[in-house]
Structure 1
Amino acid sequence: MHYGFDGKVALVTGAGGGIGRATALGFAASGAAVVVSDVNIEGGEATVQQIEAAGGRAIFASCNVAKRSEVKALVARTVEAFGRLDFAHNNAGINNLGADEYEDEAWDRSLGINLSGVMYCMREEAEVMLTQGKGAIVNTASINGLVGNGQQPAYTATKHGVIGLTRHGALRWARQGIRVNAVCPGVIETPMTAPLVADPRMRDVISGMTPMGRMGQAEEIAAAVLWLCSDQASFVTGHPLVIDGGATAT
């Protein structure tokens, strides 16, 4: 769907592939200028190339969202390049598949990127949007932000935290024109989950865990992000939108 984002500016973190890339492409296809951000320089530049090849406008800006100074510079770069910031998809995150998240290094890294990174981004993005009197922020949480996961304490805790931050931001800025929502994906086919499904037998197992019998696609999450940013969702804020093929309905 084309949302008519002409003249608008979108910032997407973690846009070097997967959900972030799909969202960046979606914003551009609807007319927005896009700031593509990632620590993966090659992936981020490839996303920009795809946008430009389709006739859109985009720039790449490297950023480690766990570092406050880099987030501040990222938002400043966005305003410098395009003069404003209308939409932000705070999507950068990690999933320590196979690691022991009770280990300090894994725990600290998860909190830094998945939780503090979202807060740093929200804080800087809101500063710009407040001066404009309008804006929409969407954070990537997870169904593990709504239900438990016995194997991943850090991932589960940080994604619960993202939903908490989302609700906080929605309340804080509700009367100042800024809407803050979250998407909660189930198992989505992305580079992050690729190691899980490299074995066709494991793919069948994981697909079978979802009532719809398949993994989700990045474009299905991107479609939800774009809708949440659009005027069609003008009365939606503080909402964790579940996109999981029915996994949490059981």
Structure 2
Amino acid sequence: MSYNFKDQVILITGAGSGIGRATAIKLASLNATLALCDINYSSLEGTSKLCAGTPTSPYLSDVDVSSVKEVHSFIDETLTRFSRIDHVFNCAGVNPTSIPLEDTPDDYWDKLVGVNLKGVFNVTRGVIPHLKSGASFVNVSSISGIRPSAQQAVYCTTKYGLIGFSKCIALELGPRGIRTNVVCPGYIDTPTNAGIVKGGAAVESMAHGNALHRLGTPEEVADVVAFLFSGEARYMNGSVVEIDGGIKGNSNPPPGK
């Protein structure tokens, strides 16, 4: 593959760790100019240090994507600094906690829907007026946006919903030359993956829950995201790309990003 994002501005949410951080590093290596946000500013600073060598230093901002005001401020400042936005990677999200539905508190619903679904809506709606033909979105769903999980109804709702939202936006913006695609990571070795946090048997279950018998890495997801932004994916619009190592039919441990 040979593509380069020189003179292109890419906005990434959830860039402080995991897939968001790995994607920022990948795109920096391909000469992109980056606008990075996360709810944790210190983690963003860590990401920025790993993006050394970009033509322009990344713009960093602590943002709660569920807040319309904070999202609009981030977009406005990105445009003030760089005058354009070419691609958007909606990666900010909250990973699941397994809770029986009857025990699920309202604030858990509000948090996951607010970040995982409304956050993508906020960013997408705010950025659209500033995009030109050739721009694109890549949104992070999950294997749980395709496969249901017991005791994860709220999380699956947000990730299934994100796929539907993305496909609608692909139809809406496609005539303007703006593409929207989705990645669905499976068992990825990240600090916020619920199985990684549990350790031991949970990690072993994930590692043997797919045909490759190992966890994926954030860098492997980042490679796919970079491809989807590139001209080599110019006819991909509304696509849902599973990055899961070939998950087995009876395997469904906690996903993660």
Deviation at 1:177, TM superposition (A): 1.4
Given that residues 10 and 32 in structure 1 are in contact (C-alpha distance below 8 angstroms), is that contact kept between their aligned partners in structure 2?
A: yes
- More off after superposition, 240-249 vs 219-228: 240-249
C-alpha distance 82-18 of structure 1, shift in aligned 2 (>3 A): same
Partner of 2:173: 173
Distance 1:161 1:194 in 2: 21
User: Number of aligned pairs?
Assistant: 248
Deviation at 1:95, TM superposition (A): 1.3
SS of equivalent residue, structure 1 residue 34: strand
Which digits, 9 at most, give the CA deviation of each residue in 1:88-112, with x for residues without a partner?
1000000132455622111111000
Given that residues 170 and 181 in structure 2 are in contact (C-alpha distance below 8 angstroms), is that contact kept between their aligned partners in structure 1?
A: yes
Could you state the TM-score of these two structures normalised by the residue count of structure 2?
A: 0.91
Distance 1:219 1:233 in 2: 19
Partner of 1:113: 115
Partner of 1:193: 193
C-alpha distance 63-2 of structure 1, shift in aligned 2 (>3 A): farther
Partner of 1:93: 93
C-alpha distance 142-248 of structure 1, shift in aligned 2 (>3 A): farther
Which digits, 9 at most, give the CA deviation of each residue in 1:118-146, with x for residues without a partner?
111111121110xx333110000001111
RMSD: 1.8
Identity between Structure 1 and Structure 2 (%): 34
Partner of 2:163: 163
Distance 2:96 2:194 in 1: 13
Higher helix share: 1
Which digits, 9 at most, give the CA deviation of each residue in 1:8-64, with x for residues without a partner?
001110000100001111111101111111001111111111112677631211110
The one-letter code matched in structure 2 to 1:124 is: G
Partner of 1:237: 237
Partner of 2:83: 83
- Aligned 1:219-238 pairs, distance under 5 A: 219-238=219-238
SS of equivalent residue, structure 2 residue 228: helix
Partner of 1:44: 44
- More off after superposition, 217-226 vs 193-202: 193-202
Could you state the TM-score of these two structures normalised by the residue count of structure 1?
A: 0.93
Partner of 2:154: 154
Q: Which runs of 5+ in 1 are unaligned?
A: none
Given that residues 186 and 216 in structure 2 are in contact (C-alpha distance below 8 angstroms), is that contact kept between their aligned partners in structure 1?
A: yes
Given that residues 65 and 115 in structure 2 are in contact (C-alpha distance below 8 angstroms), is that contact kept between their aligned partners in structure 1?
A: yes
